[in-house]
Amino acid sequence: MAIIQGRPVGILGTGMSLPERVVTNRDLEKIVNTSDEWIVQRSGIHTRRMASAGESNASLAAVSALAAMRAAAVPADDIDMIMVGTNSPDTLFPGVAPIVQSMTGASRAGGMDVQAGCPGALFAMAAAAGGIASGIWDNVVVIGSEVMTPLVDQTDRSTCVLFGDGAGACVMGPWREGALRVTHADMKADGSKSDLISLPGGLSALPANERTLREKMHFLKMNGREVFKFVSRELPDYLANFCQSCGITCDEVDWWIFHQANIRIIEYVCERMKIPMDRVIINLDRYGNTSAASIMIALHESLGCGTIRRGQRTVITSFGAGMTYGAILAES
Ligand code: ACO
């Protein structure tokens, strides 16, 4: 069952925050053996943002959260919970969320990180919706925030050209007129594919030592081709079934917000599902794959510039390390 029962839940306001530094494909040509042509053709990415010293995961998250709280007209003291979907916390503990609590002055709020691969913020939105619907919380800040740059081997051309840094946030609360209403949510995991994307070293399984450093186990490893195959195989049927469980057909969805990993994956899934590309939100050309932040940044941009209009349905969907995937339906 994908339906969210209880109090109607809304997205009351959104925000985003990006690092200053813009890195182009041409910039990367100077660092690794790659080309603008290869990157654009294989991924659709032209530029990405990379965090510099002083731009921490928590600081990007807090700026995006404050913007969302302003947009929602919900003061910091009225926030009950902060959830941060992230795969690149500044430290394993404390998590990002407690630092954001302090930075935003959300004096009454709890805080927790949701580490679920790229769908981390999507899973957090689903958990927030359940908590608001049932009355555990009134106002929840959900953030997707990543500083992936230090976790990606900047000499590995197969990964360093793909990722970017940034944060996006929303305030969720009891639905009110004019807000996007979150009506359905679903989450999946397939741990049998856990080897496709991982960061194996430096934690309890493989504590940091000379070997883990030498073998660069403290960097993200990705079998890009197999990730591509997995997502292309699973996502179309999954999304068709999700729509069915929401009581709609895929044709009745006005906007699709996909995890911004790779234009070719999105195009393939859309082709299989017969979704016209002019109904798909794309910003990976500018920001690359910002992991858990990507759907939140895309949501903010598409609401902010009036792309999603009154009376329209939007499916937000993501996939990533785990493997994990999921979807949310929201109606305006
Ligand atoms: N520049 C130039 N050549 C490159 C580069 C590069 N940056 N990277 C790899 N190559 C080369 C490879 O070495 C290979 O050369 P070879 O044929 O001589 O061996 C050739 O390009 C083809 O490599 P493939 O890996 O087969 O290229 P592919 O077309 O599969 O594209 C890519 C690679 C872009 C990673 C693709 O597989 C992909 O996008 N996969 C999905 C990844 C993904 O979606 N991840 C996100 C989910 S997880 C998360 O967000 C954390």
DSSP 204: S
Report the separation in Å between the CA atom of 225 and the middle of ligand 1, taken as the mean of its atom positions.
7
Rounded CA separation 298/308 (Å): 11
The CATH number that applies at residue 195 is 3.40.47.10
157 in contact with ligand 1, CB cutoff 6 A: yes
pLDDT, tens only, 124-166: 999 999 999 999 999 999 999 999 999 999 999 999 999 999 9
- Residue 319's nearest CA partner among 226, 205, 199, 200 is 226
As a whole-number percent, the residues of the chain with pLDDT over 90 amount to 97
Residue with the smallest CA separation from ligand 1 atom 36 is: 224
Residues acting as catalytic residues = 118, 259, 289
Tokens 């994908």 -> residue: 2
Tokens 């958990």 -> residue: 127
25 in contact with ligand 1, CB cutoff 6 A: no
**Alpha helix stretches (DSSP H) within 73-194:** 96-104, 120-134, 157-160
Q: Which atom of ligand 1 is nearest to the CA of 43?
A: 34
pLDDT, tens only, 39-53: 999 999 999 999 999
Based on the number of CB atoms within 10 Å of its own CB, is 20 exposed (0-12), middle (13-18) or buried (19 or more)? exposed
228 in contact with ligand 1, CB cutoff 6 A: yes
Report the separation in Å between the CA atom of 158 and the middle of ligand 1, taken as the mean of its atom positions.
5
pLDDT band, residue 306 (cuts 50/70/90) = confident
Rounded CA separation 129/64 (Å): 19
Tokens 């996502």 -> residue: 235
Q: What is the mean pLDDT of residues 187-208?
A: 97
pLDDT, tens only, 227-271: 999 999 999 999 999 999 999 999 999 999 999 999 999 999 999
If you average pLDDT over every residue of the chain, what do you get?
97
Say if residues 32 and 179 touch (Cβ distance below 8 Å).
no
For residue 1, what pLDDT is reported? 60
Looking at the structure of the chain, the number of domains it has is 1
- Structural domain containing residue 235: 1-332
